[in-house]
Amino acid sequence: MGTNDKESFPNERPAHLVQVQGFWMDVHDVTNAEFAMFVEATGYVTTAERKIDWEDLKKQLPPGTPQPDKSALVPGSLVFTPTSGPVPLNDLSAWWRWVHGANWRHPEGPESSIEGRENHPVVQVSWYDAVAYAQWAGKRLPTEAEWEFAARGGLESKRYVWGDDFKPGGKYMANTWQGLFPVRDTGEDGFVGTSPVGSFPANGYGLYDMAGNVWQWCSDWYRVDAHIEAASQKVCRDPAGPAQSYDPGDPFSPKRVVKGGSFLCNPDYCESYRPSARRGTPPDTGSSHTGFRCVVSGDNAQVIRSAGSEPSFTKSTSSDAKNPQNKQPKTKDTKHEMAKTRICSNHARDEEEAIDAKYGNAAAAAVRGRLHGTVFQLCRYGPCPDGDGLQQGGHGAGTCHQAPL
């Protein structure tokens, strides 16, 4: 995890050993259509649709920051706005605007809509919104380690999720920015702004848009030095991130990790579509280039395997919507079919296919349920410790998938 590439940001370094358990991940980002199902079922109100509480906001600002006029504390969100000409690239405020009325239904402001963009990733969602959706869907957000493992798609030491060549055979592999940033995106890759999920080739694990299109929320708190701390350990096992956020450049604003880069990323500015790239974003802050996808732990995979009926959920109360951190959607039935893919070792995948062949898909699902959490153990970025944890669970088929950087 991480990188030693000199052409990377300090917060991505150094490369270090991490081991993660097997898990399932959505094949693509959560789309507008999927998020609409969640809102319809629960009545959930997103962060960007709620009035801003100055008492909460001022905790994230330097002490003594004066309270802005109340007209500024109305619902809204951050919208990317191209500049009229070249600007210094060290001042994000030149191309990010706070737009009243911008939210997931109106990503660029009140006059915009998601009509015709049903299969684009939902944006303008806060970390809290993403967590609420995941709980409703019977899933969770990935840890940063899970996300990066999945993004690399089984490749080792590669700069991009598909290899080391940005445009293999002259072909764009992700939705990024072409042209002078942040003035004009020429859209040579086919898209200006977000693109429908799955518009570019999947990575080695069958996952779409693990580079570019929209940033994706992870569950971890963000620390600029998280990899330095992790590298001091021999092997990090299922790291869930630091206990608290730390960003000396913005010390009063705790942040969560986002990964993957977006349609705004380009070589002149950040190249954050590289799998090691990482950024911290305040959990209450949505934007027009940040979305998410979900995962399911291996031993809970039957949740997404038991699809076949429409989800049935109890509508949340308005007080729940106002307090998303405490919100626990009352789920009567977690049957909710979503696109998904299995992140597992080749050995485990072979075993699943063998079960399919022997029992047929229906019976195989039940058999798989007994395997989850026992077989699908993954080891990454270095030799597996001999027998250390990899044979737990009694199945005896623990396998080690090595991916040294």
Could you list the residues that contact Ca ion (CB under 5 A)? Answer: 175, 189, 191, 263
* Cβ atoms < 10 Å from Cβ of 339: 19
> 224: which DSSP letter?
T
**Shortest Cβ 28–Ca ion spacing (Å):** 17
**Shortest Cβ 190–Ca ion spacing (Å):** 7
Nearer to Ca ion among residue 205 and residue 263 (C-beta): 263
The dihedral region occupied by 124, where left means phi > 0, alpha psi between -120 and 50, and beta the remainder, is left
**Shortest Cβ 96–Ca ion spacing (Å):** 18
Q: How far apart are CA 83 and CA 87, in angstroms?
A: 8
**Shortest Cβ 263–Ca ion spacing (Å):** 5
Nearer to Ca ion among residue 253 and residue 262 (C-beta): 262
**Shortest Cβ 187–Ca ion spacing (Å):** 6
Q: How far apart are CA 318 and CA 327, in angstroms?
A: 10
Nearer to Ca ion among residue 121 and residue 329 (C-beta): 121
Nearer to Ca ion among residue 190 and residue 404 (C-beta): 190
Q: How far apart are CA 48 and CA 124, in angstroms?
A: 7
Q: How far apart are CA 215 and CA 199, in angstroms?
A: 16
**Shortest Cβ 215–Ca ion spacing (Å):** 14
Nearer to Ca ion among residue 2 and residue 261 (C-beta): 261
**DSSP three-state, residue 76:** strand
4 and 404 Cβ atoms separated by less than 8 Å: no
**DSSP three-state, residue 388:** coil
39 and 307 Cβ atoms separated by less than 8 Å: no
Alpha-carbon Rg for the chain in angstroms: 21
Nearer to Ca ion among residue 149 and residue 263 (C-beta): 263
* Cβ atoms < 10 Å from Cβ of 171: 11
